[in-house]
Structure 1
Amino acid sequence: MHQLRRLTKPVSHLVVIGLLALSLHMPAAHASMIGTEAVIDSAQVQQERARLHAALNRDDVKSELIARGVDPAQVQARVDSLTDQEVQTLSTKMDRMPAGGDAIDLLVFVFLVLLITDILGFTNVYPFVKHPKR
């Protein structure tokens, strides 16, 4: 019995030191409730990320990327590595970009410039403009 006590004392010291060493390296777990806003934001980010992927998967976008020397798979990987804030910023910028609206503005501008020059007599583009006789 005396011999058993002599063996258990160093083993118990070793077990206590091991438990202390393990507990010092483990971070404390902090649990809290997840708010509705966090869940909604996470869902919105996932939708925006899916929308970015869908936009990049279009054939015209892929062909333009390849024409510029960019691998579409690498672009997809970079979209996956974006943070949530970056995805939201990129999605917002995509929403603000005009989709062909500049072409209509340009056509109206060219029409007006040609009309004014035609009225002033510098050009003869439109048949409905009456030119003064010289």
Structure 2
Amino acid sequence: MKPIRTTAKPVSWLMAILMMVIAAPCPTVFAAMVTAETILDADRVADARAYVDAVLSREEVTSALTAQGIDVREAMLRTRALSDAEILSLADRMEHLPAGGGAFETVLVVGLIVFLVLLFTDIAGATDIFPFVRK
């Protein structure tokens, strides 16, 4: 029995040290419920990340970023580091912002508003601009 103990004692110390070395770097694991919203948002997040990457890789966007002094690769790395909620918000804002230009549409809308105001004042009898309006 004594030879077994003399052999087992160093082996048990070695095993105890080995177990501590193996278990020490393992972080504590916390279990939590995964909501249905998290599962459903996973596809939306992937689509939003792909949309933002596609927008940032367009030539006119890269040239505009470069003109502003922003490195395109760094901008892409920063967008990839965004959280899920942030990337969803960014993609939503990018989809709803006007895409520049719009001068023709603005002139058209202003012209239509002026025409309607003059038409209503002509119908009311305050002006006499349009001959097709009956008094």
Q: Give the TM bin, normalised by the shorter chain.
A: 0.5 to 0.7
Structure 1 runs not aligned, ≥5 long: 117-127, 130-134
What CA distance in whole angstroms lies between the structure 1 residues aligned with 2:100 and 2:69? Answer: 24
TM-score w.r.t. length of structure 1: 0.62
TM-score (normalizing by structure 2)? 0.61
Matched residues in 1 for 2:51 and 2:2: separation?
74
CA distance in 2 between partners of 1:26 and 1:74 (Å)? 32
Distance, in Å, in 2 between the alignment partners of 1:52 and 1:86 is: 12
Residues 63-91 of structure 1: CA deviation (Å, up to 9, x unaligned): 11111111212211111111111101111
Q: Does 1:67 align with 2:46?
A: no
Task: Say if 1:84 and 1:109 are closer, same or farther in 2 by CA, change over 3 A.
Answer: same
* Partner secondary structure for residue 63 of structure 1: helix
For structure 2, which runs of at least 5 residues remain unmatched after alignment? 119-128, 131-135
2:91 partner SS: helix
The C-alpha deviation readout for 1:73-113, integer Å capped at 9, x for no partner, is: 22111111111111011112123322358532355337739
Q: Please give the residue correspondences for 1:76-91 in structure 2 after superposition, counting only pairs within 5 Å.
A: 76-91=76-91
Q: Which residue of 2 aligns with 1:9?
A: 9
Change in 2 beyond 3 A, CA 1:13/1:74:
closer
Q: Which has the higher contact order (CA 8 A, sep 6+)?
A: 2
Paired residue secondary structure (2:82): coil
**Count of matched residue positions in the alignment of Structure 1 and Structure 2:** 117
- Using a 3 Å threshold, how does the CA distance of structure 1 residues 12 and 38 change in structure 2: closer, same or farther? same
1:51 aligns to what?
51
Q: How does 1:1-134 map to 2 (within 5 A)?
A: 2-16=2-16, 18-19=18-19, 22-23=22-23, 26-27=26-27, 29=29, 36-100=36-100, 103=103, 104-105=105-106, 107-109=108-110, 112=114
State the shift of 1:61 in Å.
Answer: 1.2
